[in-house]
């Protein structure tokens, strides 16, 4: 997720990604990914009498629902890997001294790891494929918001969608919901990865202070959706597992 955010934020500054998107815009990425989502935002806004804020909310939720099966598959794979972590760490500890020096020991460790995965029916790559499918869609929607001219000419609630939030509320709400979302899944992160839980919200806040409010609105809605999804698919599942293990 951190890598995807870095890619998104760095891409904001390039001139090609700031040019308004139209049906005539050339390029496979623009024509087949960004423009269809821009068109969808406009059509939904017209349905809501020109409210582009409502359109961003509705389309964000619709995309999240569409991607939900992939997200659930990714979370299932993450939980499976989490359950295997003690055994994986035991194997790594077993080969700790020799694996970095002896290629044969490295091969033995990898072979034992693959045997462990196979015996538990776990595919370590199963969690990656859904992510690679989700990222292009979510990034395309990000650029669709950035490059749809009509959005910048409208307001929603107290803010201008084309300008940063004058009250600075949305960026901080986006940062807080990002932190909460990651906190709910922190049990699935190792100690090194948990630092992302503190870096990501700061990045979102800093970006939100300078980027159009439409993007902060998108982040907030997406985060709230993910918080609800994570609670029902991860947090409750972990509580049930904990209760079963205690009984």
Percent of the chain with pLDDT over 70: 72
5-54 pLDDT per residue, tens: 544 444 444 445 567 888 888 888 888 888 999 999 999 999 998 899 99
pLDDT of amino acid 3 = 46
Q: Are 53 and 40 in contact (CB under 8 A)?
A: no
What distances in angstroms separate CA 14 from CA 72, 138, 153, one per listed residue? 33, 18, 22
Can you tell me the distance from the alpha carbon of 201 to that of 223, in angstroms, rounded to the nearest whole number? 11
The SS3 assignment for 244 reads: helix
Structure confidence at residue 230 as a pLDDT band (50, 70, 90): confident
Q: Which of residues 219 and 15 earns the better pLDDT score?
A: 219
More confident residue, 182 or 223: 223
Alpha helices in 121-165 (DSSP H): 128-147, 149-152
- What does 48-115 look like in DSSP terms, one character per residue? TTT-HHHHHHHHHHHHHHHHHHHHHHHHHHHHHHHHHHHHHHHHHHHTTTTTTT-HHHHHHHHHHHHH
- State the pLDDT at residue 14: 46
Give the pLDDT band of residue 203 (cuts 50, 70, 90). confident
What is the tally of helices (H) and strands (E) in the chain? 11, 2
- pLDDT for 43: 94
Nearest to 163 by CA among 212, 204, 206: 212
Tens-place pLDDT, residues 163-177: 998 888 999 999 999
Is pLDDT at 224 greater than 90 in this prediction?
yes
Across 60-80, average pLDDT = 81
pLDDT computed for residue 170 by the predictor:
92
Q: Which are the contacts of 169, defined by CB distance < 8 A and separation ≥ 6?
A: none
Residue 117: how many other CB atoms lie within 10 Å: 18
Q: pLDDT value at position 136?
A: 81
pLDDT digits (tens, 9 = 90+) for 105-130: 677 777 777 777 777 666 666 556 66
Q: Determine the Cα–Cα distance for residues 178 and 229; give it in Å rounded to an integer.
A: 13
The answer to whether 137 touches 67, Cβ cutoff 8 Å, is yes
């Amino acid at each position: 997720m951190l890598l995807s955010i870095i890619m998104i934020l760095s891409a904001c500054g390039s001139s090609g990604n700031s040019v308004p998107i139209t049906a005539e815009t050339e390029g496979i990425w623009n024509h087949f990914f960004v423009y269809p989502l821009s068109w969808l935002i406009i059509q939904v806004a017209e349905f809501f009498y020109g409210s582009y804020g409502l359109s961003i909310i509705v389309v964000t939720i619709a995309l999240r629902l569409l991607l939900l099966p992939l997200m659930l598959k990714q979370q299932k794979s993450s939980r499976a890997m989490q359950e295997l972590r003690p055994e994986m760490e035991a194997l790594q500890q077993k080969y700790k001294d020799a694996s970095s020096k002896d290629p044969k020991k490295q091969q033995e460790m990898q072979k034992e790891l693959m045997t462990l995965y196979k015996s538990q029916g776990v595919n370590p790559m199963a969690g990656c494929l859904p992510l690679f499918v989700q990222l292009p869609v979510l990034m395309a929607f990000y650029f669709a918001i950035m490059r749809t001219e009509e959005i910048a000419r409208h307001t929603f609630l107290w803010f201008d969608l084309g300008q940063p939030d004058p009250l600075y509320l949305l960026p901080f709400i986006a940062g807080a919901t990002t932190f909460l979302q990651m906190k709910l899944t922190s049990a699935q992160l190792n100690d090194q990865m948990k630092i992302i839980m503190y870096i990501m919200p700061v990045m979102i806040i800093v970006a939100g202070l300078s980027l159009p409010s439409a993007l902060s609105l998108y982040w907030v809605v997406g985060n709230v959706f993910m918080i609800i999804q994570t609670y029902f698919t991860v947090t409750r599942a972990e509580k049930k597992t904990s209760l079963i293990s205690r009984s």
